Chains A and B, each alone.
Chain A
Amino acid sequence: ELKVEQNPLFLSMQEGKNYTIYCNYSTTSDRLYWYRQDPGKSLESLFVLLSNGAVKQEGRLMASLDTKARLSTLHITAAVHDLSATYFCAVDRYHKLVFGAGTILRVKS
């Protein structure tokens, strides 16, 4: 059974600081997704990582995938308040997603 673990589950950051969210998964998969969810909203697709060593960046967010270590990271650079949201990683299992528990990110000024 595929298990996906995210940590931390809650992250309070100061504006301008850097931090990393980790996503570990238990069985082989070559596809991993990162989503953002604002309160009361649906999921916004951030990144799709399709191969080992994949790295994608969009603004202050950068995601990477190490399939051998079964680990993905979402790195936040110089956080701003607008990044406050819940972030989910999800691992592909035959086109079905198994989600991590989510990381609640709060950026304080």
Chain B
Amino acid sequence: SAVISQKPSRDICQRGTSLTIQCQVDSQVTMMFWYRQQPGQSLTLIATANQGSEATYESGFVIDKFPISRPNLTFSTLTVSNMSPEDSSIYLCSVGLNTGELFFGEGSRLTVL
């Protein structure tokens, strides 16, 4: 398995500000992903974090709003930019192992006022 640490675990932010979420994995992994879970909803993939290149975004998500960095095989960040109350969600980092398993971090619960 993989141990995934996310920071912050939760935060309350003001409208118009930006917040960066960090994801640290205890081993090198090829595949890292960022998901969003809006209140009472299921999970939606935001993007695939590619090491050494630009992230690959899913339909409905853009780099200007959700810039992602992946400087190495154990770390990634997701920034939620120019936040509005609609961005209040849980943001989860996920990693894929060669076994086919996909694990999730504890999530970062974001509330935008």
Contacts and interface: CB of A to CB of B under 8 A. Distances in A.
Contacts, number: 47
Interface string B29-46: 001010100000111110
A48 B42 contact: no
Interface residues of B, number: 23
A96 B104 contact: no
Interface string B85-113: 00000001010100111111111010000
Max chain B Cβ within 10 angstroms of own Cβ: one of A41, A48, A96, A102? A96
B42 A33 contact: no
Given A42-B92, A43-B92, A99 B42 contact: yes
A95 B106 contact: no
B48 interface: yes
Contacts of A99: 42-44
A42 B102 CA distance: 13
Interface residues of A, number: 20
Interface in A69-105: 88, 90, 95-102
Contacts of B48: 96
A11 interface: no
A67 to B, nearest CB: 15
Contacts of B31: 95
A31 interface: yes
A102 B42 contact: yes
B100 A31 contact: yes
Given A97-B43, A97-B45, A99-B42, A48 B101 contact: yes
Contacts of A96: 33, 45, 48, 58
Across chains A and B, which 3 residue pairs bring their CB atoms closest together, nearest first?
A43-B104, A99-B42, A42-B106
